[in-house]
Structure 1
């Protein structure tokens, strides 16, 4: 898949513009084949990554800005936006420990980028929560999986009742 191509190899494999185009293409296909049909059937769709991830990850290099990334999203996915985005906010040290345990020291090409890059990405995510508080929510993810799940469900309670 396109996503697998993006996540494998060394960091110099793709420049940031190519990376953004490929993620937009992968998201476009995902929207057309899965998300839009599910929404048309009245189903919920939960995704672990979507446009806000591209906005954060591909804009921090300075090669692309948010307007350009959103333009790609408009072309590729019709501008489809999530009703709610959860940003799992966690101290960098804990995030690194969890990623290392998950990846067993073998992260993908984006996860393997340096700490400064990931700090900029998180700053971008936090700015989305500040600028779009109705849609984007920060969730403290420093606790257990069960506690994090409970926080997420509480945040969705308005739609579950």
Structure 2
């Protein structure tokens, strides 16, 4: 892809780009996704901003089950629900957008399942990853931004939101520590795909680092 001469901003030329944001609850993914979307849109790119679960009508139903269902959900059933949503989402939203040449900015993807269900629920990271790869036909992001955050910082941010915790947010600290460790392990295993950032840094500094990485990916 090419970039505009002014400010290193991307042009519309070339294929689409698949960007995912990952990290624990309270890491600031939504904020960074919005800032990146605004920057790319201002630069003339067509952006599809979405999330998992919840990026389709089917996904909204799955999201309500896995995050807000009052009763118990067996861990394997939870993993399969996420995979089913992912299969439908990729087929109906993500792949068509990439084929059009759009930039897809997505809040959570398969790395979240590996971290939350594979490590957090102790189902096995390799097994959960293989399930998601099968569900998506092997689609991996071009860039994955991991916003790494300490549990005490994340919990403080969630408390400040003054909203009821969902099923995953309500888990004990040991669960979230396993999730964080797995995210970092995934990033270490695929350094070319991941950009790891300390989520405690100022919002504007984080946004600048994300823009720099995305610019490089668009220019590749």
Residue in 1 that maps onto 2:27: none
Across the aligned residues of Structure 1 and Structure 2, the Cα RMSD in angstroms comes to 1.5
Q: How does 1:10-159 map to 2 (within 5 A)?
A: 10=70, 13-60=72-119, 61-62=121-122, 64-102=123-161, 104-159=162-217
Shift of 1:131: 1.1
Shift of 1:45: 0.7
Shift of 1:76: 1.6
Is the Cα–Cα contact under 8 Å of residues 143 and 217 in structure 2 kept in the other structure?
no
**What runs of 5+ residues in structure 2 fail to find an aligned partner?**
1-60
Between Structure 1 and Structure 2, the one with more strand by share is 2
Aligned residues: 158
Residue in 2 that maps onto 1:7: 67
Shift of 1:105: 4.7
TM-score (norm 1): 0.91
Cα distance in 2, alignment partners of residues 140 and 153 from structure 1: 15
Between Structure 1 and Structure 2, the one with more helix by share is 1
Which has the larger Rg?
2
Shift of 1:15: 1.4
Cα distance in 2, alignment partners of residues 123 and 109 from structure 1: 20
Cα distance in 2, alignment partners of residues 89 and 75 from structure 1: 27
Is the Cα–Cα contact under 8 Å of residues 70 and 79 in structure 1 kept in the other structure?
no
Cα distance in 1, alignment partners of residues 212 and 77 from structure 2: 38
Q: Deviations over 1:27-68 (max 9, x none)?
A: 111101100100110111110100000010001232x22222
Cα distance in 1, alignment partners of residues 130 and 150 from structure 2: 32
Shift of 1:160: 4.3
Higher RCO structure (Cα 8 Å, ≥6 apart): 2
Q: Deviations over 1:77-129 (max 9, x none)?
A: 11211111111012221111111222x15111111111110011000000011
TM-score (norm 2): 0.68
